Structure 1
Amino acid sequence: MILNGVPWFDDRGEVVNAHGACLVDHEGRYYLFGEHKTDDVNRFDGVGCWSSTDLEHWRFERVVLPVQPDGPLGPDRVGERPKVMRCPATGRFVMYVHSDDLGYTDPLVAVATCDTVAGEYRWHGPLEHQGEPVRRWDIGAFQDDDGAGYLLVHEGDVYLLADDYLTAQEKVAEHLAPGGESPAMWRSDDGYHLLVSHKTSWECNDNEVLTAPTVRGPWRHAGLLAPAGTLTHNSQCSFVARVRRGDDVVPMYVGDRWSFPHQASAATQVWLPLLTDGGAARLGQYWPAWDPATGEQVRLADDALDVVEAPFRSGAPDDRLEVDVEGARFAVVGTTDGGSGYARVELLDAGHVVTSHLVDFYAKVPDTGLRYVSPVLPAGRWTLRVTPTGEVPTWSQKDGTRFGSTGSRVTVHRVLVLA
């Protein structure tokens, strides 16, 4: 079961800290690569890797590309949107990362390789096109059915990679999406689909879709990915994964729900089935929980062992909600909106804190639903505590435009006992 918009936990009980991600299906396991974010400045902290057989239970593999001693992926640099593909010609796994300085004035597409999917990747240098480094920022990658690899960059440029995936051989399309970033591509029976986000910093927006009969085009705009005004279900596209479902392989949207400044602790994922409507890619209704094996929604409240009404609304750090519950896994249902902030959600055993996680209650588009689902704990009596931190998620673009919340409010409605 995939849970959207809530923290995920790995086999160590740690938050799965993988953003700007991609998913590689290799020898019966899915490998999730993503930015290993920090909770202070937006600096490169390595590329993390987790693996799973069912897209629900995640095993931490390692930080596969650590911070380098110096250079483009050295200390106090930016490293974003890692994308990994296995090169058919060499059998090696090739990773692309957007490298930059902290002011985003020195963009570079960095290349690293590894002989195994989850080993330590070796930094090669910049990706070059016609002997010059590709100096672009938001990147994506796409591997076609014939093994051809493509690098996607902001504004809608597409590069065909050389056979060894280590250089950009040819620019096959350009300026497909002026003002677009975070590109992702997939192929269906109806052709090729390119997803792009608009440039609104860490804020979500209505992502768009382009379609074409071939990667080279001609490309046409095909509308919005999700219903207008949902801001792509409060997420930003990052990747389109190919997911096994029975004997079929189906596309799945992989998106980020950013949480600046606490990206490591509170940023979450939105993964949903991708549909094809009139030849264009679409996301259907937002599902807080769904089963990737069946492609069907899971309604956690209908299956809950107990539902505890727990109305709470406050932004003051000296206020708190405490609910006594019995079971092994619990969920918090609350409301996100433009005036909300962070909360600390804790589970206590006889007064001792056992789990503690930061949860973001801000969203530009209001939503009432799952805000937190705990790890599975030993069955017993617990106290679930929600405490506003008083902190406001807010940030500014380079031109000073302010984004984020207008307040620190936290709104909870009920607690579900799931196990």
Structure 2
Amino acid sequence: MMNKAYIFNGVPWFDQNGETVNAHGACMLKEGDKYYLFGEYKTNDVNKFVGFSCYSSYNLSDWHFEGLALPPQEQGLLGPDRIGERVKVFKNHKTGTFVMLMHTDNLKYADPCIGLATCDTIDGTFKFQGPLLFEGQPIRMWDMGTFVDEDGTAYLLLHEGDIYRLSDNGLTAVEKVAENIAPGGESPAMFRHGDNYFMMFSNKTSWERNDNYYFVSNNLHGPWKEQGLFCPKGSLTYNSQCSFVFSLEADGETVPIYMGDRWSFPRQASSATQVWLPITVREDICSIPEYWPVWASESISLVFPEGIDEPLPFRSNGRGDSVSYTFEGSQIMVYGISDCHGGYAEFSIYDDTGELIHHAIIDFYSLVPDSNMNYVSPKLSYGSYTLKVGVMGENGVWYKKDGTQFGSDDYFVTLESVKVCT
């Protein structure tokens, strides 16, 4: 069962080396028969640009780390002690060049600029070209996205709802198509369905999740109509922030897939996760009516993983407290409760000789209480293993520019059960 291509939401994914897939503020495109995922390559100790990552997959389940698509530069907009975020990549329909856009900034977020990089191949190292220009001047904005229309025309999307049309070669902005569609909105993402364009935004709550919303129009120039939320109210967009929408073909249909980030500050490299869900569209209304913890990419359908279920009750906020579970199989899933009192936990798997074969850090924080899957191990050779879960006595806490505190108020790790797959 577990050899099939399943997308697990809200848990870390692992690449061919067993390392956490580290690609945030991400985007996706397909080239040939492979999908390519680009995102921010984060660290757990400092929030600055260390590179944009590239991963590839044939099935959206098994990921191969291709390397850094764009490493830090020696100087300039992405030089030392700079910010690089919201990376987006598209293929220019006329030149065949791959174009990368991103938000660059200083560490105080006081010097925003949209940056530009290019590469002849999708899996190569991009060359940074400097700022993206409009009428000869850099575009000095921050949260951004991209959208490529059916005719191949590419657009830059910006926070607050500005839209720029890019040139035929994708290397400059040539027209300001719309502006101020969504005052107060950030993390823009767009898709087209039929004659309608749908543009998603989140509210500004730092790394905290919120109820994202959307606008619709049958013309990019507008008028744009605010349609409200696309996920159930109070779900905080299933604990995620919109990042991108990509098209997935299945059973002869093309379905828009929402890509969202479940940020985990400060452990962004090890514990931040992805939430990907199919979008339902009916005329000028789009929605994601329910959360799918696991779904099959081939059929775009909800999946209930098979395996042996066992209770694993554990709740502690004491640093160093732990629980162990010995199992025989090829994969283990752990279910628990995340809430505003949750902290970080260390997950370690040992083989029958006591050798550590896998380690991960899982975040049990959620502003809205959530009983769900927290961890899915990499696929293992069938055998006997011991899973150990330990309380780290750490939690995610961060502050807005005005000093407002967000995040957890305790260090609890709460487990409910496990499922062992053969």
TM-score by length of 1: 0.98
Which structure 2 segments of 5+ residues have no match? 1-5
Letter in 2 for 1:318: G
Alignment match, 2:419? 416
Q: Deviations over 1:222-277 (max 9, x none)?
A: 11010000000000000001112133322100000000000000000000001114
1:79 aligns with 2:81: no
| Alpha-carbon distance between aligned partners in 2 of 1:281 and 1:148, rounded to the nearest angstrom | 23
Please report how far the alpha carbon of residue 157 of structure 1 lies from its aligned counterpart in structure 2 after TM superposition: 0.3
| Alpha-carbon distance between aligned partners in 1 of 2:298 and 2:286, rounded to the nearest angstrom | 20
Alignment match, 1:393? 396
1:315 aligns with 2:317: yes
Letter in 2 for 1:163: D
Which structure 1 segments of 5+ residues have no match? none
RMSD of aligned Cα (Å): 0.9
Q: How does 1:260-409 map to 2 (within 5 A)?
A: 260-277=265-282, 279-300=284-305, 303-304=306-307, 306-349=308-351, 350-409=353-412
| Alpha-carbon distance between aligned partners in 2 of 1:166 and 1:281, rounded to the nearest angstrom | 31
* Matched residue SS, 1:316: coil
Letter in 1 for 2:325: V
Please report how far the alpha carbon of residue 379 of structure 1 lies from its aligned counterpart in structure 2 after TM superposition: 1.3
| Alpha-carbon distance between aligned partners in 1 of 2:255 and 2:272, rounded to the nearest angstrom | 26
Contact 2:216 2:226 in 1 (8 A): yes
Letter in 2 for 1:219: W
* Matched residue SS, 1:112: strand
Please report how far the alpha carbon of residue 352 of structure 1 lies from its aligned counterpart in structure 2 after TM superposition: 2.4
Letter in 1 for 2:281: T
* Matched residue SS, 1:391: coil
1:134 aligns with 2:139: yes
Letter in 1 for 2:185: G
Contact 1:83 1:140 in 2 (8 A): yes
Q: Deviations over 1:310-363 (max 9, x none)?
A: 100001122101111111100110000011000001111233221110000001
Q: How does 1:88-167 map to 2 (within 5 A)?
A: 88-167=93-172
Please report how far the alpha carbon of residue 183 of structure 1 lies from its aligned counterpart in structure 2 after TM superposition: 0.1
| Alpha-carbon distance between aligned partners in 2 of 1:150 and 1:418, rounded to the nearest angstrom | 44
Letter in 2 for 1:217: G
Match of 2:226 among 214, 221, 225: 221
| Alpha-carbon distance between aligned partners in 1 of 2:374 and 2:261, rounded to the nearest angstrom | 15
* Matched residue SS, 1:10: coil
Alignment match, 2:67? 62
Contact 1:210 1:280 in 2 (8 A): no
Letter in 2 for 1:8: W
Contact 1:332 1:373 in 2 (8 A): yes
* Matched residue SS, 2:279: strand
Letter in 2 for 1:33: F
Letter in 2 for 1:336: S
Alignment match, 1:47? 52
Match of 1:240 among 242, 245, 257: 245
Alignment match, 2:20? 15
Alignment match, 1:27? 32
Letter in 1 for 2:256: P
* Matched residue SS, 1:264: helix
* Matched residue SS, 1:232: helix
Contact 1:30 1:55 in 2 (8 A): yes
Q: Deviations over 1:294-323 (max 9, x none)?
A: 1110112xx11x112110000112210111
Q: Deviations over 1:88-114 (max 9, x none)?
A: 121100000100011100001000000
Q: Deviations over 1:173-231 (max 9, x none)?
A: 00000000000000002500000000000000000010000111110001101000000
| Alpha-carbon distance between aligned partners in 1 of 2:41 and 2:420, rounded to the nearest angstrom | 31
1:203 aligns with 2:208: yes
Contact 2:320 2:393 in 1 (8 A): no
Contact 1:308 1:416 in 2 (8 A): yes
Letter in 1 for 2:395: V
Letter in 2 for 1:269: Q
* Matched residue SS, 1:63: strand
Please report how far the alpha carbon of residue 281 of structure 1 lies from its aligned counterpart in structure 2 after TM superposition: 1.8
| Alpha-carbon distance between aligned partners in 1 of 2:38 and 2:350, rounded to the nearest angstrom | 32
TM-score by length of 2: 0.97
Letter in 2 for 1:392: N
Letter in 2 for 1:339: H
Contact 1:209 1:280 in 2 (8 A): no
Contact 2:163 2:177 in 1 (8 A): yes
